[in-house]
Amino acid sequence: MHAPKWTPTLLLAWLALAVLNGCNLPSAQATPAPTASPSPHVVNLVVEQSATGVYAVVQGSLGDECTTLSPKVSFAGDTFTLDLNPQHHGNCPPALVAFQERLLLPTMGLPPGTYRVRVGDLEQIFFLSVPNGATASPVPGEGSTPPPQGTPGTVTPAAAAKGRITGIIWHDLCASGVEGQPAPPTPPSGCVGDAATGYHADGTRQAEEPGIAGVKVTLAQGPCPGTPLSDTTTDDQGAFTFEDLSPGTYCVAVNTQDPVNAAILLPGEWTSPQDGSGQQTVTVEANATVQADFGWDYQFLPQPEACEDRAEFVDETIPDGTEVQPKTAFTKTWTLRNTGTCTWTTEYRAVRIGGEAMDAPDSVPLPHPVQPGDEGVISVDFTAPEAPGTYRSEWQLQNAQGQRFGLGAQGKGKFWVEIQVPAQEAQLNLGAPTVSDPLNSAARWYLLDEADARFAMSDGYLVMHGLNPGMLDWWGLSSYPALSDAFIEATFVVGPICQGRDRYGLIVRAPNTSQGIILEFACNGDYRIYRWDGSNYTALKPWTRGTGILTGPNQTNRMGVWLKGATIKLYANRILLAEVSDSTYTSGLFGLVVGSAHTPDFTVSVDKVEYWTLP
């Protein structure tokens, strides 16, 4: 592959798409002395002419803010080699930090000619037109001392500027059928044509279509067929290059009858260029690259070798336990390495296998193919739930055949996102309540008197008694009007003994005394929501630990219930605990609920009940 040309815009785009956070590994406890740091990522190299000399400008990114550069320039033959010499100081979190270095090249005394500048995989060529001396003065801001005076050299475009030709020969996927069998009645995937005249590939390269290695490509001077000049062979990715070409017209061709090519390609046909000749006439210009690609459709698909899907975790954003505010959108990105032998095509997907959906899709396709040994990036968009708590969503990969595989040598591991939604008091903007009952009398309340439960009025409270441990829930309804869309809130004060799942709460949307939606707090901080139809229990939210519920004896908790259409929300002290959806009962009465799991005569006093009708 060849380094792309980078502009400031492309550099910024690359940095914006990079992975910003590392794995959840413990950080070091002491600040180390400066050490060698991983090589910077270099994305651009430019040679500049100045009255003060010849400079190489290098742009790229560092792995964190603790890394600094101490660049060095060496010269051998006709090549200047730049060593950025990164040094690591301290312990910083991973973060991509852009850098630019402008380095003076030691051209003093060099004869005229063509010279190269290299840094990493990047290279630039420049032409020195006269014998070169020292720079006349330091570059402003460089902070350097001027070297001895000499004759400044000049950098001009090379007198014989060259161009190049690159290309790829790819397998244009289309199986015309099985050898010895009739063609299928409809075009297979990637094919055009019909069964009567035959199928062939569509001539357009798709991301999952592989290159063909080992194919001999010839170059000739002039329009095709031209005068032969040289040949080359495609690499493992099917790519080829002809370098240092003078401007002019050339013929790029692949002879399928050549013994080398015949063994690789036949039987089959060219689909690109569409004339099927396997040759292209191209024009090369100075300092430019021209592309010449060839698509090949095998008559019969080569028998693929069995491959194995495996993956390895490399990096991630949004570390476990990251706090995300309620209903906030966020994107989790994983970087995974393909440690198997199969290429991950764009038909591979990340699929959710468990945990909370958090508004994410069930699966997300890979954005780009990932070759064995390479790394791929997968990003999934989530939205934090409204209720506080810890939320985890678990994922694996799935290949083009629908087979799932995960991380590790056995392919069974998973990758995940885990966030913490903090508790915060809801801003309901309710205004004044429609009804506020201080419970100074039982005028609106049915006072139970049963073997397991009893309700009584005492000192401005409605006192609920759960008499027998292990009892079922008992409730008493109020005589207030039936409510449909409303917010109902009751203030409960538990007695001196409150343990485990001793419980209390509200029943809402009750069409009669034996049906409704029951919402309960337990003394250990759990809560639940269920529907009772007179004989069947249906869990809408099973017992779950609730942030915001005050636990144990002698505690005061406000339970709020939001009812709007099929949506039911449960609040503890105005902190949202859960949201469920159920449309079985759309309107009904409300009342108070008590139940004892462990405590004889479990006692809860109800101080106040209010409700607001919602528009």
Structure tokens at 507: 């029943």
Q: Are residues 376 and 453 in the same domain?
A: no
The verdict on residue 342 lying in a domain is yes
Least confident residue range of 40-44, 239-243, 501-505 = 40-44
User: So what's the pLDDT on residue 133?
Assistant: 40
Q: Is the pLDDT reported for residue 419 higher than 90?
A: yes
- Which domain CATH number covers 197? 2.60.40.10
Q: What is the pLDDT of residue 12?
A: 38
pLDDT computed for residue 58 by the predictor = 85
Q: Are residues 455 and 601 in the same domain?
A: yes
pLDDT at 54 over 80: yes
Same domain assignment for residues 226 and 355:
no
Q: How far apart are CA 292 and CA 69, in angstroms?
A: 40
Segment 592-604, tens digit of pLDDT = 999 999 999 999 9
Q: Are 263 and 347 in the same domain? A: no
| Confidence band of 305 (pLDDT split at 50, 70, 90) | low
**168 strand-pairing partners:** 239
Band of residue 197 on the pLDDT scale cut at 50, 70, 90:
low
Q: What is the pLDDT of residue 8?
A: 41
Has residue 429 been placed in a domain?
no
Look at residue 575 and tell me whether its pLDDT is greater than 60. yes
Amino acid at 457: M
Estimate the share of the chain in helix, then strand, then coil, as percent rounded to the nearest 5.
Answer: 5, 50, 50
* Final residue before a domain boundary, out of 156, 182, 201: 156
The stretch 321-335 carries a mean pLDDT of: 91
Whether residues 516 and 566 fall in one domain: yes
Q: What percent of the chain has pLDDT over 90?
A: 56
Q: Specify the 3-state DSSP secondary structure of 463.
A: strand
Asked if residue 304 has pLDDT above 70, the reply is no
pLDDT in tens, 249-269: 999 999 999 999 998 998 888
Can you give the pLDDT at residue 5?
A: 39
For residues 87 and 174, membership in a common domain is answered with: no
pLDDT value at residue 88? 76
Q: What is the mean pLDDT of residues 504-515?
A: 97
Whether 137 shows a pLDDT value over 50: the answer reads: no
Q: What's the pLDDT at 122?
A: 84
Q: Are residues 466 and 557 in the same domain?
A: yes
Residue type, 168: I
> Is 427 inside a domain boundary?
no
* Amino acid making up residue 422: P
**Alpha-carbon gap, residue 564 to 575, rounded angstroms:** 18
pLDDT: is 483 or 190 the higher one?
A: 483
> What is the per-residue pLDDT for 149?
36
Residues 439 and 580 both lie in one domain: yes
- Residue 367 has what pLDDT? 93
Look at residue 192 in the predicted model and tell me its pLDDT.
76
- How many domains in the chain? 4
How many other C-beta atoms are found inside a 10 Å radius of the C-beta of residue 501? 16
Q: Are 135 and 142 in contact (CB under 8 A)?
A: no
Q: Which of 368, 395, 421 marks a domain boundary?
A: 421
Residue 585, classified by CB atoms within 10 Å of its CB into exposed (0-12), middle (13-18) or buried (19+), is middle
Q: Tell me, what's the pLDDT at 189? A: 67
**DSSP letter string over 117-174?**
EEETTEEEEEEE-S-----SSPPTTS------------EE--TT--EEEEEEEEE---
Q: Between β-strands 311-316 and 122-128, what pairing exists: parallel, antiparallel or unpaired?
A: unpaired
Report pLDDT for 53: 77
Domain residues for the domain of 59 are 8-24+31-156
Rg (CA), the chain: 37
pLDDT class for 423, splitting at 50, 70, 90? Answer: confident
Mean residue pLDDT of the chain comes to 84
In this predicted structure, what is the pLDDT of residue 416? 96
What is the per-residue pLDDT across 271-281, written as a single tens digit (0 to 9) for each?
899 888 999 99
- 15 with 95, same domain? yes
Is residue 157 pLDDT above 70, yes or no? no
Give the 3-state DSSP-derived string for 31-62, with helices as H, strands as E and coil as C: CCCCEECCCCEEEEEEEEEECCEEEEEEEEEE
* 337 torsion bin: left (phi>0), alpha (psi -120 to 50), beta (else): beta
The per-residue pLDDT for 49 is: 66
Place 17 in a pLDDT band, splitting at 50, 70 and 90. very low
pLDDT tens column, 435-457: 999 999 999 999 999 999 999 99
Element (DSSP H or E) covering residue 16: helix 8-17
One domain, residues 595 and 496:
yes
φ, ψ (nearest 5 deg) of residue 445: -130, 140
426: in domain:
no
* pLDDT over 50 (residue 20): no
* Burial class of residue 555 in the structure, from the number of CB atoms within 10 Å of its CB (0-12 exposed, 13-18 middle, 19+ buried): middle
Q: What are the tens digits of pLDDT across the range 342-375?
A: 999 999 999 999 999 999 999 999 999 999 999 9
How many C-beta atoms surround the C-beta of residue 376 within 10 A? 21
Contact 574, 560 (CB under 8 A): yes
Please report whether residue 303 resides in a domain: no
The verdict on 536 and 556 lying in the same domain is: yes
User: Which whole number is the average pLDDT over 513-517?
Assistant: 96
Shared domain for 264 and 143, answered yes or no, is no
> What is the maximum alpha-carbon separation in the chain?
111
Q: Which of 441, 439, 440, 457 is nearest to 449 (CA)?
A: 457
Q: Is residue 459 a part of any domain in this protein?
A: yes
| Distance separating alpha carbons of residues 37 and 87, to the nearest angstrom | 5
